[in-house]
Amino acid sequence: MARKLVVGLGEALWDMLPDGKQVGGAPANFAYHASQFGCDGVAVSALGNDSLGDEIVEYFDSRGLRYLLQRTAFPTGTVQVTLDAAGIPQYEICENVAWDNIEYTDELDELASKADCVCFGSLAQRGAVSYGTITRFLDRMPADSLKVFDINLRQHFYTSEVLDASMNRCNILKINDEELEVITPMFGLSGSVEHRCRALMEKYGLRCLILTCGTDGSYVFTADEVSFLETPRVKVADTVGAGDSFTGAFCGSLLAGASVRDAHRRAVDVAAFVCSQSGAMPRIPDGLRL
């Protein structure tokens, strides 16, 4: 049986932390974790012709992650992370970088035509080139494919127009409780959390909506059910990539034939494990795989 083709489409970058740099980018994290559930995961982005780009390629190779990484005249993306007097991190996401300029190529078109699932966010759509590429990729995918919009609101790099267009093209929406509060006035939502989630599902014809609430648990809403699971208590090393691992495990499980409830349980357990490890791409123990 052929492995399901799962694509993470968008930003690939370095988080420049006070104690050193770490590879970042939600789409690649998603593709990596989906690949741990039997999928053929592919990270799609763009890098500069520079040493930072070379190091990202080396990192993905070390993780056994397939990729389609264009090399461009723009620099590899970085996020400058500084700590204020209270130790709270502040982020500066550099603009006009490689992943803002992902070109739509014949190779990407072929990948889109065969993809069983894609995960994309709002950040990589801040630039016109990548926005156009993501839109064309989504429109080229098979009608029965999973199109996951992990909204991932970052700083001021989103507009209501981009969010609306993305939700119109996706069939699974992944959002957290803080992001739900941000878009509530933007889209005229009201009422309880479930009422607002179901209003989004109805407006955009979503297959399901995933709402994560940090330590307060997570929900998966479908047309005829609600799955709620508490967040396991673990000793946290860091939370980098936890949400991406949740989405990757959920989609990988669905594609393998799991029920929504079982996929949700797997996603919760995987995300908790990732929180207990350093970095966004730890190897998932066999006991947590399908």
- Output the pLDDT for position 284: 82
Domain that holds residue 171: 5-288
The whole-angstrom separation of Cα 39 and Cα 255 is 8
Low-confidence ranges of the chain (pLDDT < 50): none
The whole-angstrom separation of Cα 242 and Cα 275 is 6
CATH number at residue 115: 3.40.1190.20
The whole-angstrom separation of Cα 228 and Cα 134 is 31
- Output the pLDDT for position 24: 85
Our count of domains for the chain comes to 1
- Output the pLDDT for position 2: 79
Global pTM value: 0.94
- Output the pLDDT for position 133: 98
User: Is the Cβ–Cβ distance between 119 and 150 less than 8 Å?
Assistant: yes
In this prediction, what percent of the chain has a pLDDT beyond 90? 77
The whole-angstrom separation of Cα 120 and Cα 28 is 10
Predicted confidence (pLDDT) per residue in 123-147, tens digit: 999 999 999 999 999 999 999 999 9
Pairing of strands 172-176, 40-48: unpaired
User: Is the Cβ–Cβ distance between 112 and 142 less than 8 Å?
Assistant: no
- Output the pLDDT for position 228: 97
The whole-angstrom separation of Cα 198 and Cα 216 is 20
